[in-house]
Amino acid sequence: MVYALIILLAYLLGSIPSGLIVGKVFYGKDIRQFGSGNLGGTNTFRTLGIKAGIAVTLADILKGTLATALPFLFGVEHLHPLLVGTFAVIGHMFPVFAGFRGGKAVATSGGVLLGYVPLIFLLLIAIFFLGLYLTKYVSLSSMIAACAAFIVSLFTKDIPLIIVITVMAFFVIYRHRANISRIKNGTEPKIKWL
C-alpha cells in the first residue's frame, strides 16, 4: 500500500504544471496558447522571459529530485528511487492537473538524476550548455544531453540506472519529434543570448 502511495505522490508531484502556474499567477497568460504550446521551461523562456523561465526550469528539476527522495522520506528501503522518479517524469509529460498535456521530460529527468547521481547531472548540464553554445538549439542540446546520459550510464554498471536513463532518453527524443522536423526544415528557433 505504501509503495502505491509513494508512486502516486511521485506522479502527482510531476503533474504540478509549473509553467502554467507561473504564467497564470504572475503574468496572466496560459503559455499553452503561445509559442510551442508546451508547458516546459523552454517555452516559458520564450513566452514569459528569463526570470519565469529560470523559475519554471528549477521547479521542474526539483519535482524529479523530490520524487526520487520519497522512498527515503517514507523510510521505505525496497522501493528503488529511480523507479519513483520515473513516475514524476511521466507526470510531467502527462499531468493530471493540466489535461495530460505537459512538458518534454528534460528538466524533470534531470532532477531525478540530480537526486540519484548528482555528478552525472552536473556533467550533463555541462554537455547541454556546450551543445547550446555550438548549435544554438535548446531542443537539439537536450537530445544531445539525453544521448550522453545513456552513454555515461553504461560506464556505471548500475543496471537500474542504465534502464531508467534509457527510458528517459527515449522519452526526451520522442517528445522532441516535432523539433527534429523543424531542425531538418530550418524552422526551429535558435537562441540569441549565447
pLDDT in tens, 104-115: 999 999 999 999
Q: Is 133 exposed, middle or buried (0-12, 13-18, 19+ CB in 10 A)?
A: exposed
Residues 134 and 122: their CA atoms lie apart, in Å, by 19
pTM score of the predicted model: 0.95
**Average predicted confidence (pLDDT) for the chain:** 95
pLDDT score recorded for residue 17 = 96
From the list 68, 69, 40, the residue with the least C-alpha distance to 56 is 40
